[in-house]
Amino acid sequence: MLQAIGMTNRQLNLMLQSEGLFFTIGTILMALIIGMPAGLLLFNYAREQGLYGLNIYKIPMLELAIMIIVIALMQAILSFLLSRNLRKESLVERIRYYE
């Protein structure tokens, strides 16, 4: 719709990439802000109950790095596919699709 009022393909691609970057950073931050304390609470509960026999909590740095890389790669692939799809369709087809 924004292209109907003058947005160029380049501006639309930049907007979609920025939006994707915003969601990617938000996803990673929420995973760290909510997931890390939740993991620690779960570990403390399991330790108190004697479920695993673990006594030392270690932050899973490798797993966090892998998660961040996978999310970033998925976002990059999605941005590329959306950008490629936008080049294939005309403006009229895109407007008709969203009606």
Identify the pLDDT of residue 18.
Answer: 87
Chunked in runs of 10, what are the mean pLDDT values of the chain (99 residues)? Answer: 66 82 90 91 88 82 92 88 72 59
* Helix (H/G/I), strand (E/B), else coil: 57: coil
Q: Tell me the C-alpha distance between 31 and 24, whole Å.
A: 11
**DSSP code of 98?**
T
Identify the pLDDT of residue 26.
Answer: 92
Question: What's the whole-model pTM score?
Answer: 0.67
Give, for 4, the enclosing helix (H) or strand (E).
none
Identify the pLDDT of residue 3.
Answer: 60
Identify the pLDDT of residue 57.
Answer: 84
Q: Tell me the C-alpha distance between 25 and 19, whole Å.
A: 10
Neighbours of 64 (CB within 10 A): 15
Sort residue 63 into left (φ over 0), alpha (ψ -120 to 50) or beta.
alpha
Identify the pLDDT of residue 50.
Answer: 80
